[in-house]
């Protein structure tokens, strides 16, 4: 490999991003059971691998160049821009698209947390707001945000490989949580469950999901 790989070596920035993203993760997911800790741990691994490659060492690009013949001039640490050959332009496009997904995901994630927290303080079943559209809006937001950062913006071997594992882990966790909710609310939740999808809104409801995910100022 003759080319230098641009945009790497900023380990201080990588550490800062890992700490910030990890704080947000554990602040709002607040794992308690072993299933929740295990699922959060997979996301933690995703975050570490993502930002270590984004700002530290571009392992994915190195491996592709070293063992799979990716031999181009002006290799960039961003996978999409290197594969497509668009350089800085390709990296900018993937960054903008990825950040759009990330911002949307964070909005859904935090608003879902707020609605659930408010209902829990009143010992009520939440079926309004985002919960009128999906049963687990926090996880929907998490998936969208991670997809934006780890697949669209800055895909790596680890982030792309871990993404479906994260989806599976939180699908299993959601089913486990629903069993506990059924024990608490019984037929009321069963009726709600039959009417509302788990993670993905029905066709025509995405606009409502995006509108309702705007975090209020109060």
Q: Is the pLDDT of residue 194 over 70?
A: yes
CATH of the domain at 59: 1.20.120
Residue 170 in any domain: the answer is yes
Q: What mean pLDDT is reported for the chain?
A: 85
Residue 2 in any domain: the answer is no
Q: Is the pLDDT of residue 34 over 80?
A: yes
Three-state secondary structure readout of 22-62: HHHHHHHHCCCCHHHHHHHHHHHHHHHHHHHHHHHCCHHHH
d(CA 87, CA 93): 10
Residue 196 in any domain: the answer is yes
User: Which pLDDT band, with edges at 50, 70 and 90, does 76 fall under?
Assistant: low
pLDDT tens figures, 119-136: 888 888 999 999 999 999
Better-predicted residue by pLDDT, 179 or 64: 179
Q: Is the pLDDT of residue 137 over 90?
A: yes
If you average pLDDT over residues 90-114, what whole number do you get?
90
Sign of CA dihedral 67, 76, 156, 86: negative
Q: Is the pLDDT of residue 218 over 50?
A: no
Residue 106 in any domain: the answer is yes
Q: Is the pLDDT of residue 28 over 60?
A: yes
If you average pLDDT over residues 179-197, what whole number do you get?
93
Domain count, the chain: 1
What confidence score (pLDDT) does residue 1 get?
43
What confidence score (pLDDT) does residue 63 get?
76
User: Which pLDDT band, with edges at 50, 70 and 90, does 169 fall under?
Assistant: very high
What confidence score (pLDDT) does residue 74 get?
55
What percent of the chain stands above pLDDT 90? 47
How many CB atoms lie under 10 A from the CB of residue 104? 17
Better-predicted residue by pLDDT, 115 or 92: 115
Better-predicted residue by pLDDT, 49 or 90: 49
Range of the domain at 28: 11-212
Strand partners, 76: 6
Residue 144 in any domain: the answer is yes
What confidence score (pLDDT) does residue 212 get?
79
Residue 25 in any domain: the answer is yes
pLDDT tens figures, 5-25: 555 678 888 899 999 999 988
If you average pLDDT over residues 96-117, what whole number do you get?
92
């Amino acid at each position: 490999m003759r080319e230098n790989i641009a945009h790497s070596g900023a380990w201080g920035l990588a550490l800062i991003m890992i700490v910030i993203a990890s704080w947000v993760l554990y602040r709002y997911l607040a794992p308690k059971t072993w299933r929740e800790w295990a699922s959060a741990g997979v996301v933690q691994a995703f975050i570490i691998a993502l930002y270590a490659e984004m700002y530290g060492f571009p392992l994915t690009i190195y491996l592709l160049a070293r063992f799979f013949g990716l031999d181009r001039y002006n290799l960039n640490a961003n996978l999409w821009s290197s594969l497509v050959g668009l350089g800085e332009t390709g990296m900018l496009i993937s960054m903008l698209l990825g950040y759009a997904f990330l911002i949307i995901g964070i909005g859904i994630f935090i608003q879902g947390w707020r609605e659930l927290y408010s209902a829990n303080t009143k010992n009520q079943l939440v079926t309004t707001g985002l919960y009128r559209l999906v049963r687990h809006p926090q996880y929907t937001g998490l998936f969208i945000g991670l997809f934006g950062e780890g697949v669209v913006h800055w895909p790596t071997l680890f982030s792309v490989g871990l993404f479906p594992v994260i989806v599976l882990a939180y699908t299993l966790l959601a089913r486990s949580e629903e069993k506990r909710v059924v024990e608490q609310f019984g037929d009321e939740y069963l009726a709600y469950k039959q009417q509302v999808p788990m993670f993905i809104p029905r066709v025509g409801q995405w606009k409502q999901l995006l509108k309702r995910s705007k975090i209020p100022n109060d």
